[in-house]
Amino acid sequence: MTYLDALQTTLAAEHAAVYVYGYLGAQTSASARPTQYDAIAAAYLAHRGRRDDLTSLVLELGGEPVAASAAYAVADLSGDPDGVDRAALALERDCAATYRYLVGSSAEGEARTAALALLLDSAARALALGGAPETLPGT
């Protein structure tokens, strides 16, 4: 697997994360659960930025960025704020696993440092969503 392949895999995961966080945001309430709403909104913006950055990086390396799927599977969470938290935590854990793969596929230097920063960001977000600390996030 090349670094470009790893970037494409990570980009595909970010497409899914943006979609799912958009759905989770629609399941929250800024007035009833402002902390949850703010966390979901911040995660959505972070993942959207990552997606855009990864798209640019794939293009810079001469690749054709993988397209987003038309839709992704999501659980029916209507009226279940705890389910929103669980889904967001699971999503961040999945993203951490993808970034761990990207770290391992990156050469030493700036690319690996950037991938590690993204892994740590997902791990920190998972903690903020109620996850337990992990020795090796993304495993």
101 within some domain: yes
pLDDT the model gives residue 36? 93
138 within some domain: no
pLDDT the model gives residue 84? 94
Residue 17 scores a pLDDT above 60: yes
The boundaries of the domain holding residue 56 are 3-64+78-128
d(CA 44, CA 127): 16
- CATH code of the domain containing 120: 1.20.1260.10
pLDDT the model gives residue 133? 79
115 within some domain: yes
Contacts of 108 (CB under 8 A, 6+ apart): none
71 within some domain: no
d(CA 138, CA 80): 26
pLDDT the model gives residue 136? 67
72 within some domain: no
d(CA 89, CA 17): 11
Residue 117 scores a pLDDT above 70: yes
User: Region 11-17: what's the mean pLDDT?
Assistant: 97
Q: Is the pTM of this model over 0.95?
A: no
pLDDT the model gives residue 79? 76
60 within some domain: yes
Among 135, 133, 137, which residue's Cα sits nearest to residue 100? 137
CB contact burial 42-78 (16+ within 10 A = b; e otherwise): ebbebbeebbeebbebbeeeebebbeeeeeeeeeebe
133 within some domain: no
How many structural domains comprise the chain? Answer: 1
pLDDT the model gives residue 85? 93
pLDDT the model gives residue 137? 61
Q: Is 107 or 92 the better-scoring residue by pLDDT?
A: 92
pLDDT the model gives residue 99? 93
69 within some domain: no
- For the ranges 14-28, 29-43, 59-73, 122-136, the lowest mean pLDDT is seen at 122-136
